[in-house]
Structure 1
Amino acid sequence: MAFPSTKSTTLFFFFILTIFSIAKSSDPDPIVDFFSSPLGAIINGSSFTFTGLRSAFTDFPPNFKPTKATFSEFPALLGQSVSMAILQYPAGTINPPHTHPRSAELLLVVSGSLQVGFIDTTNQFFNQTLQVGDLFVFPKGLVHFQFNADPGNSATAIAAFASANPGTVSLPPTVFTSGISDEVLAEAFKTDVAVIRSIKVGLTPPKS
């Protein structure tokens, strides 16, 4: 009986690992209707209800604020491949450049106007000014932002995701406050350490 060569076996296992990696790159399909609450808990309509977005309809913050309904806040979303957020932009505020590694984002403007944009993997910039009722899609994993350029009026948008946990990687704090040395950052941005430290000070929240 002939056995496959070592090279063929290696390629086979590499192929299998690649397929497994692709399959794991998005939310898996559930094999049950829904994931239940802890053992012994009563399952009823309340189990599938989330009230954490109410404040976004009654209060307006002084700074940009995302109010999220992902798996972390709303466990019933586990396995459902959906989540959302209410995004509130006081006049002149920005949702800084960031990415969602596990989902595209579909943005609907419900009040005010927003300047939005994203950068693809060829470094091409796509931007648009959105009005109430406009939709904009940010492709999965690409760096994007939203900016309320109106100095006198606030804006609100609803963001929808095709993942129960899309994740958010905000570039400014990730790059400048995550522990990368000042020397490495200065070399990467072709500047000096003093400039890097000045940026870090601006990103450090004031002590309460």
Structure 2
Amino acid sequence: MASTLFRHALFFIVAIFSRSWIARASDPNILSDFLAPESSNTPIDANFFTFTAMRSIFATNQNPANFTVTKASMKEFPALDGQSVSMAVLQFPADGVNPPHTHPRAAELLFVVEGSLEVGFVDTTSKLYSQQTLQTGDMFLFPKGLVHFQYNPSAEAQATAVSAFGSANAGTASLPANLFTAGIADAILAKAFKTDVATIQKIKAGLGAKA
């Protein structure tokens, strides 16, 4: 099964890098072939352009107990700086969800490599575009900056997907975390959601936020 995941992921990577939309991403253009870290005196060689942190994902059939994202963005893979591309592997246990969130600096192209997912996004007119039957080998586009989610509806099977972004630093703003764990006053949240402070505090407690 791991080899099948690898073949799917390899196909996806090749397809993504061949698409012109990545070349037209919003990251600033650079005036050199690549950007070397300013703080490093180590000579640049092929190791600088190599990222190995995802090997373990495809070397085992084990899936994390909770939804897990393994990123290859500019932070984790400095060679991406200035290249307008990054990736992530999303692992969903049975009934696992990636809560509503946005990527302010890039669109996301999701490719399912194992299992099935229910996905969707909401546009700026509050219209929901939802696909409930995304299967292995299917792709789905989340437009830049729009709220979206992914959910594994299976009660038994895990699911895995690979996401590509048109930015080396797409950014992620999780709606539950940003709203309820960032320190916004309970009274303000209660007014915004037309509820009471006690309900807001229960939500915060569920997210592990400080009261």
- TM-score, normalised relative to structure 2: 0.83
Among 184, 188, 194, the alignment partner of 1:180 is 184
Q: 1:72 aligns with which of 72, 75, 83?
A: 75
Question: How big is the shift at 1:135?
Answer: 0.5
1:52 paired to 2:53: yes
Question: For each residue in 1:123-142, what CA deviation from the matched residue of structure 2 results, as whole angstroms up to 9, or x when unmatched?
Answer: 00000020000000000000
Q: Which amino acid aligns with 1:85?
A: A
CA deviations 1:97-122 (Å, max 9, x no partner) are: 00000000000000000000000000
1:5-64, CA deviations, whole angstroms, 9 ceiling, x for partnerless residues? xxxxxxxxxxxxxxxxxxxx9201110000124453111110100111123223421000
Residue 101 (1) aligns with residue 107 (2): no
1:35/1:204 CA distance change after superposition, 3 Å: same
Which amino acid in the other structure matches residue 67 of structure 2?
F
Which residue of structure 2 aligns with residue 193 of structure 1?
197
**1:27 and 2:27 matched:** yes
- Matched to 2:175, the amino acid is L
The 2-side partners of 1:56 and 1:167 are apart by: 22
Confirm or deny that 1:88 pairs with 2:87. Answer: no
Which shows bigger deviation, 98-107 or 58-67?
58-67
Which residue, out of 140, 147, 151, partners 1:143? 147
Give me the whole-angstrom Cα distance separating, in 2, the residues matched to 1:36 and 1:119.
38
Secondary structure in structure 1 of the residue aligned to 2:203: helix
Query: What code does the residue aligned with 2:46 have?
Result: G
Higher gyration radius (CA): 1
Verify: 1:170 aligned to 2:171, yes or no.
no
Letter in 2 for 1:193: V
Aligned-pair identity in percent equals: 60
Q: Distance in 2 between matches of 1:54 and 1:138?
A: 26
Match of 2:43 in 1: 42
Q: Residue 98 of structure 1 aligns to a residue in which SS?
A: strand
* Cα distance in 2 for residues equivalent to 1:56 and 1:189: 39
What TM-score does the superposition give when structure 1 sets the normalisation length? 0.84
| Structural RMSD (CA) | 1.5
Counterpart-to-counterpart distance in 1, 2:177 and 2:41: 41
Count of residues paired in the alignment: 182
Structure 2 unmatched ranges of 5 or more: 1-24
